[in-house]
């Protein structure tokens, strides 16, 4: 049985939001989080049935697997709102890229956020020149370029490397995926980089000037 109600914006592709609306909704949710007034979520039979019928996320996130950096909590969004890919160091591997492509092509998300964070263990290991074999070696190798960029910037090295890694991945996404590149070029999707500050709970949107949304809290 399809219970989809086409009048309910939550049940339409991208939840009927523009890319600017999508980022604004993320920021508004984050301000609720900071003010410790996160929304009450109810698990009702109707809501469960809606979710069984399909998913309509409005944003995709490529974030770190770190247990302290949960996007649904930090941005105060419900199940079904965010399409989340999490991997240590928020690196861009083939599985993550395919997942984000799916979110753009089939779920019509309006926003992709690359979401790094302070004190990232994966990035820290890369700044220390740690080497490894196998899968861990692959992960570290994906972070080397950001560390090299960060070394040319004012310290602290780890903070600069976290930011450089986020910026690098935001640039790689449209280059490595034709689907994502075309969606960005057509103006359907925006890619933003962001860094979570563990001590304060703040999220810094990198290059917010170009993100089309006012930085100031309303
Ligand atoms: Zn991390």
- What is the DSSP secondary structure assignment for residue 92, as one 8-state letter? -
Taking the centre of ligand 1 as the mean of its atom positions, its distance from the CA of residue 49, in whole angstroms, is 34
Taking the centre of ligand 1 as the mean of its atom positions, its distance from the CA of residue 68, in whole angstroms, is 9
Whether 217 and 31 have beta carbons less than 8 Å apart is answered as: yes
- Domain of residue 58 covers 9-208
In-domain check, residue 213: no
d(CA 120, CA 149): 17
CA distances from 65 to 85, 153, 163, 193 (A): 9, 26, 17, 16
d(CA 115, CA 124): 16
Taking the centre of ligand 1 as the mean of its atom positions, its distance from the CA of residue 28, in whole angstroms, is 24
In-domain check, residue 2: no
In-domain check, residue 4: no
Taking the centre of ligand 1 as the mean of its atom positions, its distance from the CA of residue 88, in whole angstroms, is 5
Whether 136 and 58 have beta carbons less than 8 Å apart is answered as: no
Taking the centre of ligand 1 as the mean of its atom positions, its distance from the CA of residue 31, in whole angstroms, is 22
In-domain check, residue 155: yes
Q: What share of the chain is helix, strand, coil (3-state, %, to 5)?
A: 50, 15, 40
In-domain check, residue 217: no
Taking the centre of ligand 1 as the mean of its atom positions, its distance from the CA of residue 84, in whole angstroms, is 15
**How far is Cα of residue 159 from the mean position of the Cα atoms in its chain?**
18
pTM attached to this predicted model: 0.92
Taking the centre of ligand 1 as the mean of its atom positions, its distance from the CA of residue 30, in whole angstroms, is 19
Taking the centre of ligand 1 as the mean of its atom positions, its distance from the CA of residue 87, in whole angstroms, is 8
- Overall domain count for the chain: 1
- Which one has a higher pLDDT value, 180 or 216? 180
Q: Which pLDDT tens digit goes with each residue over 132-177?
A: 999 999 999 999 999 999 999 999 999 999 999 999 999 999 999 9
The predicted structure's pLDDT at residue 215: 46
Residue 58 C-beta-side C-alpha neighbours within 13 Å: 21
Taking the centre of ligand 1 as the mean of its atom positions, its distance from the CA of residue 95, in whole angstroms, is 18
In-domain check, residue 121: yes
Which of the four pLDDT bands, split at 50, 70 and 90, describes residue 69? very high
Residue written as token pair 């810094």: 204
- Which CATH number goes with the domain that contains 189? 3.40.1050.10
The predicted structure's pLDDT at residue 9: 86
């Amino acid at each position: 049985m399809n219970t989809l109600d086409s009048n309910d914006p939550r049940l339409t592709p991208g939840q009927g939001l523009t890319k600017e609306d999508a980022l604004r909704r993320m920021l508004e949710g984050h301000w609720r989080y900071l003010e410790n007034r996160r929304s009450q979520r109810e698990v009702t039979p109707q809501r469960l049935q809606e979710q069984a019928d399909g998913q309509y996320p409005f944003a995709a996130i490529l974030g770190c697997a770190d247990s302290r950096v949960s996007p649904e909590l930090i941005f105060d969004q419900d199940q079904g709102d965010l399409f989340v890919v999490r991997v240590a160091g928020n690196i861009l591997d083939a599985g993550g890229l395919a997942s984000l492509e799916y979110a753009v092509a089939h779920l019509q998300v309006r926003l992709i956020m690359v979401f790094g964070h302070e004190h990232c263990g994966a990035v820290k290991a890369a700044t220390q020149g740690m080497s490894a074999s196998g899968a861990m070696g692959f992960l570290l190798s994906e972070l080397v370029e950001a560390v090299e960029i960060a070394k040319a910037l004012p310290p602290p090295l780890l903070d600069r490397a976290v930011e450089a890694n986020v910026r690098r991945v935001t640039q790689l996404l449209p280059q490595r995926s034709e689907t994502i590149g075309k969606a960005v070029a057509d103006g359907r999707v925006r890619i933003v980089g962001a860094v979570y500050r563990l001590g304060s709970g703040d999220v810094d949107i990198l290059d917010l000037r170009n993100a089309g949304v006012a930085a100031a809290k309303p």
